[in-house]
Amino acid sequence: MATPKVVIVYRYCNDLEAMRHFYVELLGFANTSIENGRQGAFVEVDCGGFRLTFLKSSTELPVYTQLSKLPGCQGGEIEQALCSVEYSVDAYAVVVERLRAAGVHSPQADGEWSYPVLDPMGNTIEVYRAFGDEVPAGAESVAVSQ
């Protein structure tokens, strides 16, 4: 029997365009689908192995204003689902600069290897750079996939 795999993760949101802008324009994911018709309103992005689909909520949803607790990072306040997105060293620098230019700030002031931010719904997204044998100071306990 084949191992099951996650294909689509669905998340409800208040503003589809804000989510598309954040995930496609700022983080660099491929936009695979946009719908605003008889099947409802949604935006779908390719996350390199599964699709993240944002559905337009029929009611205004609360937006988190604090980062989730993230092992190895400072600034997390709440215990809420979060995700990490890995970039090469060069791509990481470009994405962090795009986020900063767009006014998306992180409590990790230097952002040397990790730049946790909130998406438009307040979900914590840790943007981090891939590293090999070298481990940033203070990150010894953080497991990172290669």
Residue 80 included in any domain: yes
Indicate if 77 and 101 belong to the same structural domain.
yes
Indicate if 76 and 118 belong to the same structural domain.
yes
Residue 2 included in any domain: no
Residue 141 has pLDDT above 50, yes or no: no
* Paired sense of beta strands 30-37 and 8-13, if any: unpaired
* Paired sense of beta strands 51-56 and 8-13, if any: parallel
The 10 Å Cβ neighbour count of residue 67 is 25
Residue 146 included in any domain: no
Q: Could you tell me where the beta strands, DSSP code E, fall in 1-146? A: 8-13, 30-37, 40-46, 51-56, 82-87, 114-118, 124-129
Indicate if 126 and 76 belong to the same structural domain.
yes
Residue span of the structural domain in which 76 resides: 62-138
Instruction: Please tell me the distance from the alpha carbon of residue 68 to that of residue 19, in angstroms, as a whole number.
Output: 18
Residue 128 included in any domain: yes
Residue 125 included in any domain: yes
Residue 146 has pLDDT above 60, yes or no: no
Indicate if 16 and 73 belong to the same structural domain.
no
Indicate if 47 and 108 belong to the same structural domain.
no
Residue 1 included in any domain: no
Indicate if 93 and 43 belong to the same structural domain.
no
Q: How confident is the model at residue 64 (pLDDT cuts 50, 70, 90)?
A: very high
What is the pLDDT at residue 33? 81
Sign of the torsion angle spanned by Cα atoms 21, 10, 71, 107:
positive
Q: Give percent of the chain with pLDDT exceeding 70.
A: 84
What is the pLDDT at residue 135? 47
Instruction: Please tell me the distance from the alpha carbon of residue 145 to that of residue 64, in angstroms, as a whole number.
Output: 27
Q: What's the mean pLDDT when you consider all of the chain?
A: 85
Residues in the chain: 146
pLDDT tens digits, residue range 85-126? 999 999 999 999 999 999 998 887 667 888 999 999 999 999
Return the CATH number at 50: 3.10.180.10
What is the pLDDT at residue 121? 97
